[in-house]
């Protein structure tokens, strides 16, 4: 159960920061041949060296591809960039936006922004990857959320978008499974990243949250917890796992 992604070419959207950064590094640690980071910015939100540096340090080839996931052509360009490393084997659609929403004041452009990144970005990321994987198989991992299973009154657009990712995943699992392309979703719970510290202040400077009391394991999650799940789903350990959801939330939704 080591070197789980040996020789694979991995693309991670939103790979510069947070969960995407952890996934990119973990993929490299698990023997990926190359990790391509597709993001609108190269500098990590949390500071530190670029994710490509971390990937290189773990022994994988790397490339940063400037890409806005709301533009299908950018996603196609990221997938095309993987060709020079041998072609994409694993596509991780991780880029997403999050923030507190005031439902009664929410505007059309507020709505569109969330849906464009979180749903359209995942949809066309899947399409670009699947087109490349059609003849050779592969794995697609989509980042949903526990908000894509249960609702949240403070985040109705976000939850809607993550629910869409979930059903897109199930649908593509059925469609692409026969082509040897497995498609699965991860549903992180409360994970300690810039999203949950800055975009919506759910986690304190000390790394804690008031809602910890509702989490059976008594702690917020780390980006690395999600990265381990992504690696599992992308690997051959999950060769019969398709069209399903893996919830990484410390037991919160089981309660």
- List the catalytic residues: 144, 158, 162
Assign 3-state DSSP to the chain and report helix, strand, coil percentages, each to 5: 45, 15, 40
Task: Determine the Cα–Cα distance for residues 6 and 33; give it in Å rounded to an integer.
Answer: 7
Using CB under 8 A, which of 20, 23, 30, 145 touches another protein? Answer: 30
φ/ψ (deg, to 5) at 59: 95, 10
Least CB distance to another protein at residue 81 (A):
26
Using CB under 8 A, which of 143, 173, 203, 209 touches another protein? Answer: 173
The answer to whether 215 and 250 have CB atoms below 8 angstroms apart is: yes
The answer to whether 228 and 170 have CB atoms below 8 angstroms apart is: no
Task: Determine the Cα–Cα distance for residues 18 and 96; give it in Å rounded to an integer.
Answer: 11
Cβ proximity to another protein, 78 vs 234, nearer residue = 234
Task: Determine the Cα–Cα distance for residues 142 and 159; give it in Å rounded to an integer.
Answer: 15
Using CB under 8 A, which of 7, 152, 177, 207 touches another protein? Answer: 177
Beta-bridge partner residues of 39: 66
Least CB distance to another protein at residue 230 (A):
11
Told to check if 50 binds another protein by CB under 8 A, we report no
Site string for another protein, 194-233 (x = CB under 8 A): ---------------------xxxx--xx--xx-xx-xx-
Told to check if 129 binds another protein by CB under 8 A, we report no
Three-state DSSP state, 218:
coil
Told to check if 242 binds another protein by CB under 8 A, we report yes
Three-state DSSP state, 69:
coil
Least CB distance to another protein at residue 142 (A):
13
Q: Which spans of this chain sit near another protein (rule: CB under 8 A)?
A: 1-4, 29-30, 170-171, 173-178, 182, 189, 215-218, 221-222, 225-226, 228-229, 231-232, 237-251, 253-255
């Amino acid at each position: 159960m080591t070197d789980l992604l040996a020789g694979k070419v991995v693309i991670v959207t939103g790979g510069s920061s947070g969960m995407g950064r952890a996934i990119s590094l973990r993929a490299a640690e698990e023997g990926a041949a190359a990790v391509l980071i597709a993001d609108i910015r190269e500098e990590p939100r949390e500071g530190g060296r670029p994710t490509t540096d971390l990937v290189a340090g773990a022994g994988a080839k790397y490339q940063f591809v400037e890409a806005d996931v709301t533009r299908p052509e950018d996603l196609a360009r990221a997938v095309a960039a993987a060709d020079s490393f041998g072609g994409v084997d694993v596509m991780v659609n991780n880029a997403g936006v999050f923030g507190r929403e005031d439902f009664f004041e929410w505007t059309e452009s507020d709505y569109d922004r969330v849906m464009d990144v979180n749903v359209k970005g995942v949809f066309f990321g899947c399409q670009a990857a699947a087109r490349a994987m059609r003849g050779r198989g592969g794995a697609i991992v989509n980042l949903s959320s526990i908000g894509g299973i249960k609702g949240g009154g403070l985040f109705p657009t976000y939850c809607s978008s993550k629910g869409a990712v979930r059903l897109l995943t199930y649908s593509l699992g059925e469609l692409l499974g026969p082509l040897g392309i497995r498609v699965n979703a991860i549903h992180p719970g409360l994970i300690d990243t810039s999203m949950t510290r800055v975009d919506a202040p759910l986690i304190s400077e000390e790394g804690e949250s008031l809602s910890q009391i509702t989490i059976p394991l008594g702690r917020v999650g780390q980006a690395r917890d999600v990265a381990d799940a992504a690696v599992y789903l992308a690997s051959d350990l999950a060769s019969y796992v398709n069209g399903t959801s893996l919830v990484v939330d410390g037991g919160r939704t089981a309660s």
